[in-house]
A and B are shown apart, each in its own frame.
Chain A
Amino acid sequence: MKRVFVKGIKGGTGTTSVVANLACVLKKSKEQVYVIDLDPKSDVGLHLGLAWAHEYGWSNYPTFNEASCQFHQDSDGVIFLPFGSNSQAQFSSSRIIEGCKQIDNSDNAWLLFDCPAHIDVTQYSLNEDDIFLEVVNCDAICHSLIYKRLQTLSQAAGQWQHYFLANRYNSASELEFDLLQLWQSEIPLLASLYINKDEVIKEATAFRNVAINCAPYSVANDDFETLAGWLVSRVNQDES
């Protein structure tokens, strides 16, 4: 089981779309993918074709076994579990993470968690095989947050693989260009790739779909493919 946690360093960095597109790309390269929505916004489903009126998710059930009836499959075959409408969930997200270990025993399956921005990394019980992706945008707020995060991470070094992923990167903006260049030279934890800003990602949700399905000709498609490839290489590096 390869577990990838994706979380925005702050709200509104585009985390959910990264999760949804990443899941789709992995699925298209014949990998088994599960997406678990840990965010009370419960919007992963909207990217993956779930009707907006659908309210139920794991939070509406008392136990994991009962909640597992809420697993859905999208048109590409990605299996996902929405959060649901009960933000005062009867059992915590850590229990659902635990519970997910039952659903697939194979080593090759991917488990993607869409984590809410307000819950800190340390709240999850991570082991050293896990990958924690923190999505950042190239702006000054994120810049300061990254440096704060680096301080806390230095204490927890080696417990899990932590990376920052630049999303919505627009190289035409001078500030973004300079910031990314700075990060690339100074932050070792920055993923060696970035997701370009692309209108298609926004538009895709209007179709209740993901960008790679709506516009395979777009750069977004390549970016997510690169991201998937990069994650595979991280996992393999870990194994070897």
Chain B
Amino acid sequence: MKANRSRMSFAEKTIRVLLSLFFSKLLVRFIFLKFHSYFNQHKMSAIAAFCLPFLLLFLSLFFKLDKNKKRKLKSRLRYFYPHVTLPVFTISNCVRIILQTSYLAFFRTNKASLGELKAERAKTWQDIKRSVRVIRLVDKKLVKAFKHAWFIGKKKSQQANYKRISEANVWQSQILKVAFIMLLFFAVAVFVTVPFSVEAQAVFISLILIVAYSLRRVEGQIATITMITLSVTTSTRYLWWRYTETLNWDDPLALTLGIGLLLAETYAWLVLILGFFQTINPLNRKPVQLPADSSLWPSVDIYIPTYNEPLSVVKPTAIAAQSIDWPADKLNIYILDDGKRPEFAEFAKQIGIGYLTRPNNNHAKAGNMNHAMTLTDGDYIAIFDCDHIPARSFLQVTMGQFIKDEKVCLVQTPHHFFSADPFERNLNNQGKIPNENMLFYGLIQDGNDMWDATFFCGSCAVLKREALDKIGGFAVETVTEDAHTALRMQRAGYKTTYINIPQAAGLATDSLSAHVGQRIRWARGMAQIFRLDNPLLGKGLNLAQRMCYLNAMLHFLSGIPRIVFLTAPLALIYFNAAIIYAPFLAIFLYIVPTLLQVKITNSRIQGKYRYSFWGEVYESVLAWYILKPTTVALINPNKGKFNVTEKGGLNDTERYDWIISKPYIFLLLINVVGMGYGILRLFFGDTSQIGVLLISMLWASYNIIILGAAVAVAAEAKQIRSSHRVNANFPAAIRLANGHTIKVKITDYSDSGVGIETQHIPTCRVNDKVELLMSRGLKQYSFATYICNTRDKQIGLTLRDLDIEKQKAFIQCTFSRADAWLDWQENFKHDKPSYSFSNVLKVSLRGFKNLIFHAPNELKPLIEFSSRAIEFIATLLPTKPKKVFETL
């Protein structure tokens, strides 16, 4: 080492001496410094490193080489070419430099113009904001004005003159009534059929839209009915226009596709009109008080049919059924076990309820219940699916209807689920967005009740034995025995009723595939009913009831139309087939306002129970799967057997259900490719087509959003807890080991634990034993629990080793509480379409992310490659000059 250095220094010394013959001392030092830096830092060859300083010296004869100047030059280069990487001379950098140079040459990029640009942008943004504000203000004023006008109208109706006219006998005249109805129909027919020029249509539709839009916040049923009338008029007019003016008879391909779309639209129109009819005036039936003397109350059998569900699911239901408030001698509970399992028999014996089995399993659930009817003799039969835990007040709330009206044969209560259904779980929106069920149980059943057409939903309902006997027991011909049974009872002249007060709660389906399976069964069942016992024909129903059944049926036929809507815009993009054969402006003026108006009206009617655009998501997920079974059942109704919906399971891993999402991924793919093709056509295609093409692409991108959301549902989220937590809010107490009793609030519970909140933070640790004191009426029960976690004021308690008596007491104090499920529908705000759309959009983006994240391993390199490629290409693009902080 030492020798080495001395050798080096010897060579150096020699050269130094040689050089000092020609150059001054300072220059010799400069040459050596540069040499070392080139040789060591820039890794040049020794000769090059030695020669370069001389070149520099030579150049310095002509230029002034200044360190400061160099730094400035460098920083200017960094300013104009911020994305050029080191080392400079690579192919990609060449591209960057060329692109950036041309960008700098052709666009204003100096600081002043950039500032101008910024100011301009800010100004535009301000303008946009201001105009949004103005629109909002106008909207507000308009709504206010309408409310005011409405109010005045109402006031007028209370004036004497007005009253004299409105109460005159003339109105009772039958002829006048008929005349008015005729006049109304005539007016509607005129509005629907008169062909308008484009300008006239624009005026007409914008007037209607303004009225509908302003009415949307006016309270009251009359405003709703007005909005419905307007919607019916415009949508019918739209359909008339479609049939009469928009079919291209010269182009067979366009004609075929166009007729397909038109049929789908006709379906949608029919469903819309029937839906309006069904929900125009929901009944909101109230419970009827029972006679004070409980000896007059009838006897009730409670059936809990089960087939393969675990005992842990059935247990709480049976115990809660036992705790229903009803005279004990008039309440009999039976587990109807088609699984014929000895542990169920033992459990039934243990808690003292009936246990019934039968030699065969014919006709599944309906057969099971029919068999039980031969062995029991209660006047009424209450049915709970084995996972539906009833509240103690169930019979108090429902039974009054039977006593009030002898013709009532069914009282149905809503199905409420305390666990998240696959949509809610996989999209993580339980309690934020009303789930799929809510529209039916919150609105449609109440609407049906108005027309005496309440459907029986198989659980959480009480039926009259007499009525069942009259129609020969539960219907066994279809896989949806419930709807069919109700239909038969209605035919026999009985009334079905609905009370929209949740009196039981159960488990939702565990997985999307199970959920889809359940819906397939319903769809198949409805189709079977239509073939075997068509509610449109046959005796005993009135027109309204037939309409309600028709709508229920049509709902399950939504498969084909939905898929048509999801693919329709592609016809124009791919094949240039004008499926709506009309000029761009006419299409725009007919479709967009009509759609808007229908959305506004539906948002008003369904707002609390179904948010805008979510219906499309739910429907799209199911569309493909109910398509086949409904079609098959319509052709051959006897095919298809009852499949039991799986519940009470646990999803222990996060996974993506590729099998179930296959159809949507396919649809998504053709839509995305179509969008790409559409963009190409925009640039290189026929310019006269641009308007129509743009509308098609807008539609396709909406479809992509909806499909993205459908795809998002298929990512099965992990289920953390084995037993589902139910949110609650009621007082209780705990007694600590040191004897202190502390008031607490129960915030949630499950069958194996309780979450509590306390204002006073006691000194307690995990695994401490704590007595939980809960009251039911005057009775106080004490449960031995252990602390499993504590966080601030929140304490988690687990129940361990409860004997059967304590289990019973626990269920009575929790699940069976009369108020346990009451706040279910109150938690949701009224729909706001724009907000709802942004939610769907978010979900949709999540769906795309899921697709990429869960992609199969074979595809992963491709995805990685393409994402890298995109990233790389992005770095090539010219960028704005960036400010550089000079380093010394």
Decide whether A and B assemble into one complex: yes
- With most chain A CB atoms within 10 A of its CB, the pick from B758, B771, B778 is B778
**Contact assessment for A199 and B742 in the assembled complex, using a CB-CB cutoff below 8 Å:** no
Picked from A171, A199, A215, A222, the residue with its CB within 8 Å of the CB of B780 is A171
Report the Cα distance A194→B781, complex, angstroms.
13
Nearest opposing residue in chain A for B784, CB measure: A172
**Contact assessment for B740 and A172 in the assembled complex, using a CB-CB cutoff below 8 Å:** no
**Contact assessment for B743 and A217 in the assembled complex, using a CB-CB cutoff below 8 Å:** yes
Report the Cα distance A215→B743, complex, angstroms.
10
Report the Cα distance A170→B771, complex, angstroms.
10
Whole-angstrom distance between the Cβ of A175 and the nearest chain B Cβ: 13
Report the Cα distance A217→B781, complex, angstroms.
20
Picked from B738, B739, B782, the residue with its CB within 8 Å of the CB of A171 is B782
> Which A residues are CB-close (under 8 A) to B69?
none
Asked whether B779 is an interface residue with its Cβ less than 8 Å from the other chain, the reply is yes
Contacts A169-B780, A184-B778, A196-B733; A221 near B773 (Cβ below 8 A): no
Picked from A192, A194, A197, A217, the residue with its CB within 8 Å of the CB of B760 is A217
User: Considering the complex, which residues of chain A in the window 124-182 have a beta carbon less than 8 Å from any beta carbon of chain B?
Assistant: 169-172, 177, 181
Asked whether A200 is an interface residue with its Cβ less than 8 Å from the other chain, the reply is yes
Nearest opposing residue in chain B for A184, CB measure: B778
Asked whether A218 is an interface residue with its Cβ less than 8 Å from the other chain, the reply is yes
Asked whether B759 is an interface residue with its Cβ less than 8 Å from the other chain, the reply is yes
Asked whether A198 is an interface residue with its Cβ less than 8 Å from the other chain, the reply is yes
**Contact assessment for A198 and B739 in the assembled complex, using a CB-CB cutoff below 8 Å:** yes
Report the Cα distance A200→B735, complex, angstroms.
11
Report the Cα distance A202→B778, complex, angstroms.
25
Nearest opposing residue in chain B for A222, CB measure: B743
> Which A residues are CB-close (under 8 A) to B782?
170-172, 177
> Which A residues are CB-close (under 8 A) to B735?
172, 196-198
**Contact assessment for B759 and A217 in the assembled complex, using a CB-CB cutoff below 8 Å:** yes
User: Considering the complex, which residues of chain B in the window 739-779 have a beta carbon less than 8 Å from any beta carbon of chain A?
Assistant: 739-743, 758-760, 771, 773, 778-779
Report the Cα distance A202→B771, complex, angstroms.
19
Whole-angstrom distance between the Cβ of B507 and the nearest chain A Cβ: 31
**Contact assessment for A196 and B778 in the assembled complex, using a CB-CB cutoff below 8 Å:** no
User: Considering the complex, which residues of chain A in the window 198-230 have a beta carbon less than 8 Å from any beta carbon of chain B?
Assistant: 198-200, 202, 215, 217-222
Contacts A171-B773, A184-B778; A197 near B733 (Cβ below 8 A): no
Whole-angstrom distance between the Cβ of A224 and the nearest chain B Cβ: 12
What's the dominant secondary structure at chain B's contact region?
strand
Nearest opposing residue in chain B for A215, CB measure: B740
**Contact assessment for B742 and A219 in the assembled complex, using a CB-CB cutoff below 8 Å:** yes
**Contact assessment for A219 and B741 in the assembled complex, using a CB-CB cutoff below 8 Å:** yes
Nearest opposing residue in chain B for A190, CB measure: B778
**Contact assessment for B743 and A196 in the assembled complex, using a CB-CB cutoff below 8 Å:** no
> Which A residues are CB-close (under 8 A) to B784?
172
> Which B residues are CB-close (under 8 A) to A192?
778
**Contact assessment for A200 and B771 in the assembled complex, using a CB-CB cutoff below 8 Å:** no
Q: Mark A56-88, 1 if CB is under 8 A from B, else 0.
A: 000000000000000000000000000000000
**Contact assessment for A196 and B779 in the assembled complex, using a CB-CB cutoff below 8 Å:** no
Whole-angstrom distance between the Cβ of B824 and the nearest chain A Cβ: 29
Picked from B739, B760, B771, B779, the residue with its CB within 8 Å of the CB of A181 is B779
**Contact assessment for A219 and B773 in the assembled complex, using a CB-CB cutoff below 8 Å:** yes
> Which A residues are CB-close (under 8 A) to B741?
196-200, 218-220
Report the Cα distance A171→B805, complex, angstroms.
14
**Contact assessment for A219 and B733 in the assembled complex, using a CB-CB cutoff below 8 Å:** yes
Whole-angstrom distance between the Cβ of B76 and the nearest chain A Cβ: 71
> Which A residues are CB-close (under 8 A) to B758?
217
Report the Cα distance A198→B741, complex, angstroms.
6
B: contact size bracket: 10 to 19
**Contact assessment for B743 and A171 in the assembled complex, using a CB-CB cutoff below 8 Å:** no
Nearest opposing residue in chain B for A221, CB measure: B743
Report the Cα distance A192→B740, complex, angstroms.
23
Contacts A171-B780, A184-B778, A217-B758; A199 near B773 (Cβ below 8 A): no
**Contact assessment for A219 and B743 in the assembled complex, using a CB-CB cutoff below 8 Å:** yes
Report the Cα distance A198→B735, complex, angstroms.
8
> Which A residues are CB-close (under 8 A) to B778?
184, 192-193
Whole-angstrom distance between the Cβ of B770 and the nearest chain A Cβ: 11
Report the Cα distance A92→B500, complex, angstroms.
66
**Contact assessment for A200 and B740 in the assembled complex, using a CB-CB cutoff below 8 Å:** yes
Report the Cα distance A221→B779, complex, angstroms.
19
> Which A residues are CB-close (under 8 A) to B781?
171, 177
> Which B residues are CB-close (under 8 A) to A218?
740-743
> Which A residues are CB-close (under 8 A) to B759?
217
> Which B residues are CB-close (under 8 A) to A172?
735, 771, 782, 784
Whole-angstrom distance between the Cβ of B784 and the nearest chain A Cβ: 8
**Contact assessment for B733 and A199 in the assembled complex, using a CB-CB cutoff below 8 Å:** no
Nearest opposing residue in chain A for B732, CB measure: A219
Nearest opposing residue in chain A for B779, CB measure: A181
Report the Cα distance A222→B775, complex, angstroms.
14
> Which A residues are CB-close (under 8 A) to B771?
172
Whole-angstrom distance between the Cβ of A122 and the nearest chain B Cβ: 30
- With most chain B CB atoms within 10 A of its CB, the pick from A184, A193, A219 is A219
Report the Cα distance A104→B760, complex, angstroms.
39
Report the Cα distance A177→B806, complex, angstroms.
12
> Which A residues are CB-close (under 8 A) to B733?
196, 219
**Contact assessment for B743 and A199 in the assembled complex, using a CB-CB cutoff below 8 Å:** no
> Which B residues are CB-close (under 8 A) to A222?
743
Report the Cα distance A183→B741, complex, angstroms.
24
**Contact assessment for A197 and B780 in the assembled complex, using a CB-CB cutoff below 8 Å:** no
Nearest opposing residue in chain A for B778, CB measure: A184
> Which B residues are CB-close (under 8 A) to A169?
780
Report the Cα distance A169→B779, complex, angstroms.
12
Q: Mark B713-739, 1 if CB is under 8 A from A, else 0.
A: 000000000000000000001010011
Report the Cα distance A65→B489, complex, angstroms.
84
Nearest opposing residue in chain B for A220, CB measure: B741
Report the Cα distance A170→B782, complex, angstroms.
8
Whole-angstrom distance between the Cβ of B327 and the nearest chain A Cβ: 15
Nearest opposing residue in chain B for A194, CB measure: B780
Contacts A171-B781, A171-B782, A217-B758; A197 near B773 (Cβ below 8 A): no
Report the Cα distance A172→B809, complex, angstroms.
13
Report the Cα distance A198→B773, complex, angstroms.
12
Report the Cα distance A177→B740, complex, angstroms.
19
> Which B residues are CB-close (under 8 A) to A217?
742-743, 758-760
Nearest opposing residue in chain A for B731, CB measure: A222
Whole-angstrom distance between the Cβ of B136 and the nearest chain A Cβ: 48
- With most chain A CB atoms within 10 A of its CB, the pick from B738, B758, B779 is B779
> Which B residues are CB-close (under 8 A) to A199?
738-741
Report the Cα distance A217→B744, complex, angstroms.
9
Whole-angstrom distance between the Cβ of B792 and the nearest chain A Cβ: 15
Report the Cα distance A199→B742, complex, angstroms.
10
> Which B residues are CB-close (under 8 A) to A181?
779
> Which B residues are CB-close (under 8 A) to A170?
782
Whole-angstrom distance between the Cβ of B744 and the nearest chain A Cβ: 9
Report the Cα distance A177→B805, complex, angstroms.
13
> Which B residues are CB-close (under 8 A) to A202?
739
Whole-angstrom distance between the Cβ of A95 and the nearest chain B Cβ: 40
Report the Cα distance A22→B778, complex, angstroms.
21
Whole-angstrom distance between the Cβ of B730 and the nearest chain A Cβ: 13
Whole-angstrom distance between the Cβ of A219 and the nearest chain B Cβ: 4
Nearest opposing residue in chain A for B739, CB measure: A199
Report the Cα distance A220→B782, complex, angstroms.
16
Report the Cα distance A162→B741, complex, angstroms.
29
Report the Cα distance A198→B733, complex, angstroms.
11
Report the Cα distance A43→B318, complex, angstroms.
53
Please list 12 pairs of residues, one from A and one from B, whose beta carbons are closer than 8 Å in the complex, sorted by A's number: A171-B781, A172-B782, A198-B739, A199-B738, A199-B739, A215-B740, A218-B740, A218-B742, A219-B742, A219-B743, A221-B743, A222-B743
A contact set with B: CB distance below 8 Å: 169-172, 177, 181, 184, 192-194, 196-200, 202, 215, 217-222
> What 11 new A-B contacts, CB under 8 Å, besides A181-B779, A202-B739?
A172-B782, A184-B778, A184-B779, A196-B780, A215-B760, A217-B743, A217-B758, A217-B759, A217-B760, A218-B741, A219-B773
Q: Nearest 4 CB-CB pairs, A to B? A: A199-B739, A217-B760, A172-B782, A219-B741
B contact set with A: CB distance below 8 Å: 733, 735, 738-743, 758-760, 771, 773, 778-782, 784
